[in-house]
Amino acid sequence: MKQFTPATKGMNRDLFKFILMILMVLDHIDNFISPYLADTFHILTRVVAVGFAYLVVEGLFYTHSRKLYLTRLLGWGAFMALGNYLLNLFVLRKQYQMSILGDNIFLTLFIGAVIICLWDNHQEPKKKQLLKIASIFLLIIGLIPIFEGSFVILPFMLITQLTHKNIKKRNWYYIGLMTVLLIIELPMALSIPNSTPLMIFDSIAMNASDIFFISIIPFLHFYSGELGKYDHKLKYLFYFFYPAHLWLIHLISNFSG
């Protein structure tokens, strides 16, 4: 199985993760900044979810055990769901409570990883086709907006899987997904009455921001796909950082608001 090599040029995996985590924090501090700055951050940070989704797809190509990889995503998803539930139950006031499924990207990434594993199977032809049908069915079910970012993340992950190592095709498929989202979301965002430029900007940020996931293309242009110097030591950093930063922000908001 192919292994990563130490990074020599471009943005290695460590730096890619650090940038995504910084942007992730900026997206979640809307309670502490002006609404229009929050809108700006919300647009600029649409790259975060798909960035980590890309890393999961990449990880499934190189992991020694897909079963363990899936178990890890599901385990952290369950852990965060429990943490969200307990904080809601015992600590957070209603206006600061968290969604059990909607504030839990681990579960979305787990569903996306399952879809990929069902699609990319090595069974006999008849069973292979059945598993591909099952993956499409799961994709359709996953598009129901109850999981965090699933409407974008799940098709993004399947596209990334299907276009592995074909950058030109991958980018065109990403643009195709963005176009679909644009057709669905932009009319709703522009339908506000008596609109001003600032109101339109706010409406796009709130109702049509999914289209800005396309900023992943320039990010991936500079991403080398290679290991950083500290990759092994920082392997689980995101798994700890994601729930910790969300819980901390909600706790600060709860006790200072």
Confidence of residue 257 (pLDDT cuts 50, 70, 90): low
Whole-number average pLDDT of the chain: 91
Which comes out higher in pLDDT, residue 243 or 192? 243
139 neighbors 162 (Cβ within 8 angstroms): no
pLDDT digits (tens, 9 = 90+) for 178-201: 999 999 999 999 998 878 999 999
Whole-angstrom Cα distance, residue 51 to residue 228? Answer: 17
Is the pTM higher than 0.85? The answer reads yes
DSSP line for 17-79: HHHHHHHHHHHT-GGGS-HHHHHHHHHHTTHHHHHHHHHHHHHHHH-S-HHHHHHHHHHHHHH
Parse the chain into domains and list their residue ranges.
16-243
Candidate from 14-18, 133-137, 226-230 with smallest mean pLDDT: 226-230
pLDDT digits (tens, 9 = 90+) for 197-214: 999 999 999 999 999 999
What pLDDT is recorded for position 7? Answer: 40
